[in-house]
């Protein structure tokens, strides 16, 4: 890493700071992109394919046609929600690894609810009801880990994973034993609960849910920055001890951040259930929870960053399908993993370079990424 443009940190203030920060964000993104390209090329090469032509096929399959663009936006839609969900928790210093279960449970419950709404309901009302039910279910699934973290100090990663497993067992049980559906799917939702497709995209699956996702990303960010509760959540993430000293109710904010995160993750069903299938079937949306972590890592606390990262991952996924005949689409997941590490390292190095001339950091300062945990 080179030093940033000769700009003595003591004098760089306000505008200059912002410019430098954005420059470094750009550097991070470029480093990550180059690393991803390199890894992809190596994999393509290992599978006996010419990297360049494979890359061209991948690009044509994703950004090359309106249909491809629509498909990649469709794939980005749930990722924006789950990425945002992980990010919301992260800002409060929490790892909500349970988005997978929150989304799964919410998809099932909200799809069931949307299927049994009265038929006379006008259009947007059904959507509103379905989304509300989904958010409530997501928050409910997030509640046990949230309570255990806030009140008992149980690390939310482990309890979150347990909740994921519990939902994973419950979903087929509800579909198979309770609903007695041989195909393991819910009935079709009523028309008033459907998210309309965006017709300009030539038959692709992108729906209004994408617009909702982008709006949610900016709305939640705005709430975290502007509202008192939101600010306190972020403070808890920055320094729980200081918050305690200042009289902030830390357990309550931890609880709130976790529940909000669960609710946001649950909204991802708007893209898959309401906007695409029109029902929930076992496995729909599986994996988006974990990919959301990657989105949050790449987007790092900015709504625009999260949207861009989600579109990037959607592109990778769509491109993966385009080249699947030549190189297995799993190659794209490997590329993702490498991207996380590269971005984290670049972020860390950039942070070190930024702080270069400022007073030495605390000896035991927490490393890059989320600030340290509250004493558990």
Partner 1 sequence: MSSLLSLTMLAETLRIAAPYACAAAGGIWAERAGIIHIGLEGVLLTSGFTGVAVAAATGSAAMGLCAGVAAGAALSLAHALVTEKARVDAVVSGIAVNLLAMAGTRLLLRGLYDSSSNSPSIDGFRFGPTGASGAALLARVLCDPVTLVGVLAIAASPWVLTRTRFGLRVRACGENPAAAAAAGIDVARTRICALLVSGAICALGGIHLAFDQHRFESGMSNGRGFIALAAVVVSGWRVGRAALACLAFGALEALQIVLQDQTRRTAIGDLIQLLPYVGTLVVLAFAAGRAAAPQGIGKHVEP
Q: How far apart are CA 233 and CA 254, in angstroms?
A: 7
- Residue from 177, 182, 226, 247 touching partner 1 (CB under 8 A): that is 177
Sites for partner 1 among residues 155-174 (CB under 8 A) = 155, 157-159, 161-166, 169-170, 172-173
Q: Is 328 in the site for partner 1 (CB under 8 A)?
A: yes
Sites for partner 1 among residues 279-318 (CB under 8 A) = 290, 293-294, 297
Which residues are CB-neighbours of 365 under 8 A, at least 6 positions away? none
Contact 109, 186 (CB under 8 A): no
In the chain, the DSSP E strands lie at: none
Closest to 117 in 3D by CA, of 213, 192, 229? 192
Q: Is 338 in the site for partner 1 (CB under 8 A)?
A: yes
Sites for partner 1 among residues 103-162 (CB under 8 A) = 144, 148, 152-155, 157-159, 161-162
Q: Which is nearer to partner 1, 6 or 375 (CB)?
A: 375
> What secondary structure does DSSP assign to 89-151, as a single string?
HHHTT---TTHHHHHHHHHHHHHHHHHTS-TT--HHHHHHHHHHHHHHHHHHHHHHHHHIIII
> Which tokens go with 95?
């790892």
* Least distance (Å) between residue 7 CB and partner 1: 23
Q: Which is nearer to partner 1, 153 or 219 (CB)?
A: 153
Q: Which is nearer to partner 1, 294 or 309 (CB)?
A: 294
Count of alpha carbons within 13 angstroms of residue 313, beta-carbon side: 33
* Least distance (Å) between residue 333 CB and partner 1: 3
Q: Which is nearer to partner 1, 172 or 219 (CB)?
A: 172
Main-chain phi, psi angles of 362, to 5 degrees = -55, 150
* Least distance (Å) between residue 361 CB and partner 1: 7
> Which tokens go with 76?
């980005």
DSSP 203: T
Q: Is 361 in the site for partner 1 (CB under 8 A)?
A: yes
Q: Is 95 in the site for partner 1 (CB under 8 A)?
A: yes
Note the residues at the interface with partner 1 (CB under 8 A): 43, 46-47, 95, 144, 148, 152-155, 157-159, 161-166, 169-170, 172-173, 176-178, 290, 293-294, 297, 328, 330-334, 336-338, 340-341, 344-345, 348-349, 352, 360-361, 363-370, 372-373, 376
């Amino acid at each position: 890493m080179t030093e940033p443009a000769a700009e003595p940190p003591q004098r760089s203030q306000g505008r200059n700071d912002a410019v430098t920060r954005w420059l470094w964000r750009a550097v991070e993104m470029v480093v990550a992109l180059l690393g991803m390209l390199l890894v992809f090329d190596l994999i393509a090469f290992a599978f006996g394919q010419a990297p360049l032509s494979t890359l061209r096929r991948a690009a044509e399959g994703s950004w090359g046609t309106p249909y491809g663009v629509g498909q990649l936006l469709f794939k980005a839609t749930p990722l924006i929600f789950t990425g945002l969900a992980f990010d919301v928790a992260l800002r409060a210093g929490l790892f909500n690894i349970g988005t997978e279960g929150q989304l799964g449970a919410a998809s099932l419950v909200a799809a069931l609810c949307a299927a049994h709404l009265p038929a006379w309901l006008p259009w947007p009302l059904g959507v509103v009801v379905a989304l509300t039910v989904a958010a409530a279910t997501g928050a409910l699934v997030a509640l046990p880990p949230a309570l255990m973290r806030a009140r008992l100090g149980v690390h939310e990663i482990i309890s979150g994973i347990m909740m994921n497993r519990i939902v994973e067992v419950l979903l087929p049980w509800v579909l198979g034993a309770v609903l007695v559906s041989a195909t393991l799917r819910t009935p079709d939702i009523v028309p008033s609960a459907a998210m309309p497709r965006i017709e300009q995209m030539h038959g692709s699956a992108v729906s209004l849910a994408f617009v909702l996702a982008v709006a949610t990303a900016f709305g939640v960010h705005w709430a975290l920055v502007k509202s008192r509760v939101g600010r306190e959540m972020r403070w808890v993430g920055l320094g729980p001890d200081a918050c305690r000293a200042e009289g902030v109710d830390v357990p309550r904010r931890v609880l709130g951040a976790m529940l909000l995160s669960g609710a946001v993750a649950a909204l991802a069903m708007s893209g898959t259930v309401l906007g695409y299938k029109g029902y929930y079937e076992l496995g729909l949306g599986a994996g988006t929870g974990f990919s959301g972590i990657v989105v949050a890592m790449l987007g790092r606390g900015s709504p625009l960053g999260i949207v861009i990262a989600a579109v990037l991952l959607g592109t990778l996924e769509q491109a993966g399908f385009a080249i699947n005949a030549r190189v297995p689409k799993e190659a794209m997941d490997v590329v993702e993993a490498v991207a996380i590490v590269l971005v984290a390292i670049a972020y860390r190095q950039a942070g070190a370079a930024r702080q270069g001339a400022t007073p030495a950091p605390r000896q035991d300062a927490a490393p890059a990424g989320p600030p340290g945990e509250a004493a558990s």
